[in-house]
Amino acid sequence: MSFHHQKIILLAINVVAGGSVIASYIHGLLAHPDTRALLWGSVPQSLLPLYNVSMITATIGYIIFTSYIIFFIDPDETTLAGNFSYSLFYWLYAVILVFSALWMPLTVMMLDKPSAGLWLAIRCTLGVVGLGSIGILAAIFTLQPGGPVWAQRSALIGCSFFCVQTAVLDALVWTAYFPSRL
């Protein structure tokens, strides 16, 4: 049994663009160790445990919904929101991962030389990631055929955790507390 070429494309997007996200975080943290605590801006200490739990559940959720999309969905039979094909996932993942890779460099630049333009770029970046994650949630919700019910429900729950992190905590809460200065 061969692996469908559309699934290979989606895996490649995850490896290349996902690797870029991880590399941007590693580089940002290692090259600028003095700014690690500043990355939180003025986010209250009382919210940091929520972020820690959410980052873990969002990561696990990402693995669950991505596994569902790759292993339980037939790209040839799939429609999303009635009109879109499996390839919509390429665009949603690419948007989420490319813009996620921009967050750390932009934020480090903001800490170094704060400006209204950088702040707008950061907010737009996080907003696009949040909207992309909501797009994946909607795509999974409207996907036909959806594969095994347990798998689709698990993917919806996992993607919901990812949306809480990206669309709520990152795009709304974090931006409300950062930057601490302009």
- Domain membership of residue 80 (yes or no) is yes
Closest CA to 163 of 19, 94, 38, 65: 65
Instruction: Give the contacts of 87 (CB within 8 A, at least 6 positions apart).
Output: 6, 9, 75
- Domain membership of residue 106 (yes or no) is yes
Percentage of the chain beyond pLDDT 70 is 97
Q: What is the count of structural domains for the chain?
A: 1
Question: Average of pLDDT values for 86-97?
Answer: 97
- Domain membership of residue 169 (yes or no) is yes
DSSP 37-48: GGGGTT--GGGH
Closest CA to 85 of 152, 158, 9: 9
- Domain membership of residue 19 (yes or no) is yes
Is residue 64 within 8 A of residue 154, CB to CB? The reply is yes
Instruction: Give the contacts of 138 (CB within 8 A, at least 6 positions apart).
Output: 81
- Domain span at 90: 5-28+47-177
- Domain membership of residue 40 (yes or no) is no
> To 5 degrees, how large is the angle CA 134–CA 139–CA 143?
155
- State yes or no: pLDDT of 73 exceeds 60: yes
- Domain membership of residue 81 (yes or no) is yes
- pTM here is 0.93
- State yes or no: pLDDT of 1 exceeds 50: no
